[in-house]
A = this chain, B = another copy of it.
């Protein structure tokens, strides 16, 4: 079961099944909670958030989709979406309509296993968020999210030593960590004052990774460095920068 990657045949099949990439502006709502699945969306660029709003009006972000992530797995598996998904920054997506996903699954059994694995990975990430909101203090909580985003972007080849794009506003951040915007602002200033990060409106650079990881109690194991959801599905032209530190052989984690 481990090391199951898509076969070259399945890989090619997926690439052909995807629609032409389309771009959407910030705030576009892509998925509506309780609506039936409209297919899978592969993030080629940008950031989207999975978000739930309570009766009381407060909202909580329960997941972020970065380059290479797959949107719509929950809806595909359960029949309907469990959260709203909207673009936090301008984004580029490739869609595979529901019918074609079903056809792919029927024809290539390894694809469903990959989708299952991707679902389990999103579960692991969400689990880590839950730990943070339940038991971490604001400082560690925010630091952890920054670590996670930077790490995931690096896996996707979208970050280098000089940092990564960071299109989240402080209020989007606050929504993700379950804090108020005001407090997130203060925590970010603490992290800056300690020379742990540099963060501008659009760019994040982690100055002192070891110390930030210590503050955050960050252990990237749950991100499964060996298996990107769909990074390998990107058309050749969409692979930006070099995939530093990664190769195409399956990674053994046991």
Contacts and interface: CB of A to CB of B under 8 A. Distances in A.
Interface stretch (A14-22, A55-63, A183-191): A55-63
Nearest to A59: B135
A122 interface: yes
A224 interface: yes
Interface residues of A, number: 56
Nearest to A113: B112
Tell me the number of copies of this protein.
Answer: 2
Interface string A139-151: 0000000000000
A226 to B, nearest CB: 9
A173 interface: no
Interface in A12-71: 34, 36-37, 52, 54-56, 58-60, 62-63
A217 B2 CA distance: 40
A130 B126 contact: yes
A243 interface: no
Interface stretch (A78-86, A88-96, A160-168, A192-200): A78-86
Contacts of A1: 37, 76-77, 79, 98, 102
A58 B141 CA distance: 14
B62 A117 contact: no
A235 interface: no
A126 B120 CA distance: 12
Interface in A201-218: 217
Given A253-B79, A254-B80, A62 B131 contact: yes
A134 B131 contact: no
A37 B120 CA distance: 13
A16 to B, nearest CB: 21
Contacts of A37: 1
Closest 4 CB pairs of A and B: A134-B178, A77-B120, A2-B79, A133-B133
Interface of A: 1-3, 34, 36-37, 52, 54-56, 58-60, 62-63, 73-74, 76-80, 82-83, 98, 102, 105, 109, 112-113, 115-117, 119-124, 126-127, 129-131, 133-136, 177-178, 217, 221-222, 224, 253-254
13 contacts: A1-B102, A3-B79, A54-B131, A54-B217, A62-B127, A62-B131, A78-B120, A79-B253, A80-B254, A109-B109, A123-B123, A130-B178, A134-B177
